[in-house]
Amino acid sequence: MSSLPLRSAVDKSHTWNAESVFATPEAWSAEVDSILADLPKLKQYEGRLKEGASVLADAFAAFEELNLRAYRTYMYAGFAYSVDTTDQSAAGMAGKAQGMFGQVAGAGAFLNPELLSIGQDTLTQWIKAEPRLAVYGQFIENLFRKQAHVRSGEVEEILGMLSDPFGGPSQTASMLTNADMKIPSVQDEAGNVIELEESAIWKLMSEEDRALRQKSWENYHATLLSYKNTLATNLANSIKQNVFLSRVRKHENALEMMLYENNIPVSVFHNLLATFKKHLPIWYKYFEVRRKALGVEALQPYDMWAPLTKDRVKIPYQKAVEHIAEGLLPMGKDYVGILRNGALEERWVDVYPNKGKRTGAFSWGAPGTHPFIMMSYTDEIFSLSTLAHELGHSMHSYLTWQNQPLVYAEYSLFAAEVASNFHQAMVRAHLLQSNPDKNFQIAVIEEAMANFYRYFFIMPTLARFELETHTRVENGQPLTADSLINLMADLFSEGFGGKVEVNREHVGMTWSRFSHLFSDYYVYAYATGIAGAHALAKRVLSGEPNAVENYFGFLKAGSSLYPLDALKRAGVDLTTPAPVDAAFEVMADYVDRLEKLLA
């Protein structure tokens, strides 16, 4: 029986540096209790902001201090739960943290309504008069930009308190698919029994044994189908919550609400989907190249990650860190030194898979902590790319926290996916240039196409799914398991263009595999992110004047600039379809090179 190790059996050197945040879970629990006890220190300013600039500065300080403490404790509990969803104490911590976070949000809900009642002119004068307020110019400007959608203090307090119960669908989906759901095991060609944990199943999708891939895929999706009504109801409730919030905040729809938050026109979203559909023939060609290379009569979804050569490239974790560091040398030795130290010495990364570990990968931290990474490294080039991606997020966070005050210490998801994909583009270019071996070249392009497949095929398809499901709810139409499955199957069938066989029930459950859909209208940002990333990487690699400095300006900006403005300063304009078109040209070149290598 081949199985993943228990969390307790994982070498500590390969786990995230939890003790650098809180020495023990007991210390964490004491801090949660302390935060709740300190809520009155923030509430004391409710109704008093109009008293003057000094009181406002004191209120801002109290608000930021409490929120930073809350975010650190929330991150600690969430990360502990993510690396082992079977740990009941960690699950309890995550629930306690979410409840605490909702109370903090509710306690500070008076801030924006009171600021709006004071007026922008008065606040501008106060900012000039009180040095402690000087940093808040962009924050105030952004607040008054959103003025029409900020409700009364009482309503805002209720909306803040809703963050806890509204987190229910996401938590339920995670608990079901990561902890409770049991996928039937499979046997490989040698007769070895393999347990199908979701965090490890995608490694099997890159195995040469097609029968193993097929059985793993079928067992996984059949298990998801057995919970289809629960999963569908859960997602439908999340979508209804989004629509509810958009109406409470007086937006036209949920799409406008989510993009409005970061001052992004809805045209950016629609441009992406239109450009994606225009370039589907590039995907059709790739699917045909892959089918011929695998020598199969019909390409199946579980063939998308199958190796195209028998000589597999194996890259241990430490070697992967070195490859990534070498690829990023154009960014300077200081940048590379911070990255290498974080990945190898300071334990930013929770490296390997274990029982109960969440599927996927993410970067998460807070000012004052390391920018931690959760992943399941498997010594494959795909894992190298995932590590590069997440280190892009982590370096973005690191430089933002080093250069911005707390009010601008977070950046948008729209900007985040540029930094992560930038790393992958840079490292991929280095690998292709540094090793001419044919099998290595094929492996690098395979990984590149797998990345494009995820971000430039699956994510735009999920974005189309999001738009349609939200529109249906906004029009009063119900969402059922069968309607979600049929919609998803239709969208993938169009995307595959007859080049890939579609088991409608299995492909139709794709939506249930992506927790991203609980972050409303997020998935489209992967596609705009990969487009912006390749445009910026091209500037750096071609040696354009100030390209590196301008990119650092983007990384350091945090939310002190709107994301589109920060990217324009770095050298890319995502308000037009041009970067998306250019990224499809990069992908088309990969397809052509792959076809020649395989020939």
Instruction: Report the catalytic residues.
Output: 390
Task: Give the sign of the dihedral formed by CA 231, CA 234, CA 238, CA 240.
Answer: positive
Q: For residues 169 and 231, give the distance between their C-alpha atoms in angstroms, rounded to a whole number.
A: 9
Instruction: Note the helical H segments in 475-577.
Output: 481-496, 504-508, 524-541, 547-557, 563-570
Burial of 115 (0-12, 13-18, 19+ CB in 10 A): buried
| 517-521-527 Cα angle (round to 5) | 95
Contact 118, 140 (CB under 8 A): no
Q: Are strands 372-374 and 349-350 parallel, antiparallel or unpaired?
A: parallel
Q: Which residues pair with 194 in a beta bridge?
A: 2, 186
Contact 350, 372 (CB under 8 A): yes
Radius of gyration of the chain from its Cα atoms, rounded to whole angstroms = 24
Residue with tokens 């560091």: 325
SS (HEC) of 37-98: HCHHHHHCCCCCHHHCHHHHHHHHHHHHHHHHHHHHHHHHHHHHHHHCCCCHHHHHHHHHHH
Q: For residues 283 and 461, give the distance between their C-alpha atoms in angstroms, rounded to a whole number.
A: 13
Q: Which residues contact 409 (CB under 8 A, 6 or more apart)?
A: 367, 400, 401, 558, 559
| 369: helix, strand or coil | coil
